[in-house]
Amino acid sequence: MDFFNQLLSPDSALRYPIIGLLFLLLFLILSAIYRRIMKKWRQRTRKSKSPIDDFIVRLFTIPGIWIIFAILLNIFSTLLKEDEKIYAVLKKISLILLILTIGWFIVQVIRALFHYWQKKFDINNPNNLEARKRLTQMSMIERIVVIAVIFIFVSIALMTIESVRQLGVSLLASAGVAGIIIGFAAQRSFGQIFSGIQIAFTQPVRIDDVVVIEGEWGRIEEINITYAVVKIWDERRLIVPIDYFLNNPIQNWTRSTSDILGTVFLYVSYNLPVDPLREELARIVKENPNWDGRVQNIQVTDSREWYKELRVLVSSADSSLNWELKVALREKLIDFINKNYPGSFATIHGMSNGQRMATTLRDE
């Protein structure tokens, strides 16, 4: 015991290495025991199949390690009371760690609560307008609350440091020109944040809305405070500044309903009768599950010197189904015309008979 006291005495050269080694060893032992306990708990929660139990395990896993570290640091700092500077620094570090750990814990609870509420809204249903509206609002509110909590706890942690607290007072006292400069620098960032809040409540776009932006067709996958993520049809992601939706015109195909009309244009010669084509269209759409039964017709929408324009109009429950329907219609109608009325596709004057005008598509 005397030997141990001598090693830890203020005059001992090995005092700091031994205290540091003991701290590290005890931290590793306690954290290993804690992880073992959490592992056993996790195995039990898997058997119970309760999402609440699983959430509690994940919630306490990381903060528990940091709390052990902060408590040990606070205890071991008492061994260094003779050195006031080191003692004060260690006390401050343990306090800051404890504050930040509590903040992290609260953030995880907030995220879990919002995740639980969001799971109640199913956006996979065809009539999901109300669910998408609530999901968009909750997603934005969650991010605002999380940022506010992080800001508060980081501020509390920093204010425990005397030099930082004095710096804050000095900055407030001499704001003047610096405040103006910071205001101009932060103007765009704050503008985007307010745009995000505005979008959350006015909702020109919502999560899972089908939109056309910069000529790209896609769905709104995420709406964050300063940007939105649009999932393009080919799995690419378009990152759009949030204020873009307020300052630029966009196409929103699901603003009030997901129902949509689609068109296929055919360019044919004047000798092709339209009625047989209408009958074939009716037969095709009745056999196609992507047609919602509302609209199907063929109209002559234009006539030129060498051809007439036929517009095939069909309806579907959403844009994805409508795309599949139009692709099938185009293929089957072209085959029908080639089989029953060969040579009826329009030719441009001066081209050989083998060169035909391609059918074209336009969505409305």
SS3 readout for the chain: CHHHHHHCCCCCCCHHHHHHHHHHHHHHHHHHHHHHHHHHHHHHHHHHCCHHHHHHHHHHHHHHHHHHHHHHHHHHHHHHCCCHHHHHHHHHHHHHHHHHHHHHHHHHHHHHHHHHHHCCCCCCCCCCHHHHHHHHHHHHHHHHHHHHHHHHHHHHHHHCCHHHHHHHHHHHHCCHHHHHHHHHHHHHHHHHHHHHHHHHHHCCCCCCCEEEECCEEEEEEEECCCEEEEEECCCCEEEEECCHHHHCCCEECCCCCCCEEEEEEEEECCCCCCHHHHHHHHHHHHHCCCCCCCCEEEEEEEECCCCEEEEEEEEECCHHHHHHHHHHHHHHHHHHHHHHCCCCECCCCCCCCCCCCCCEEEEC
- The predicted model gives 181-196 an average pLDDT of 60
Q: Is the pLDDT of residue 193 over 60?
A: yes
% residues pLDDT > 90 (the chain): 19
For the ranges 6-15, 139-148, 234-243, 286-295, the lowest mean pLDDT is seen at: 6-15
CA angle 284, 290, 294 (to 5 degrees): 80
Domains and CATH numbers, the chain: 1-120 (no CATH), 133-255 (2.30.30.60), 260-363 (3.30.70.100)
C-beta separation of 221 from 279 below 8 A: no
Q: Global pTM?
A: 0.55
Which pair of structure tokens corresponds to residue 28?
């590793």
- When pLDDT is averaged across residues 141-158 and rounded to a whole number, the result is 84
* Residues 242-283 pLDDT 10s: 888 888 888 888 877 778 888 999 999 998 999 999 999 999
- CA 215 from centre of chain: 21
- The whole-number pLDDT of residue 59 equals 72
What gap in Å lies between CA 225 and CA 328, rounded to an integer?
40
Average pLDDT over residues 227-234: 89
For the stretch 232-250, what's the b/e string if a residue is b when 16 or more beta carbons lie within 10 angstroms of its beta carbon? eeeeeeeebbbbebbeeee
65 versus 284: the higher-pLDDT residue is: 284
Using CB atoms within 10 A of its CB, is residue 230 exposed (0-12), middle (13-18) or buried (19+)?
buried
Look at residue 31 in the predicted model and tell me its pLDDT: 87
Read off the pLDDT band of 140 (50, 70, 90): confident
Rounded mean pLDDT of 321-340? 92
- At 315, the pLDDT band (50, 70, 90 cuts) reads very high
Residue 275: predicted pLDDT: 92
| pLDDT, tens digit, 9 for 90 and up, residues 172-182 | 455 454 455 55
To the nearest whole number, what is the mean pLDDT of the chain? 78
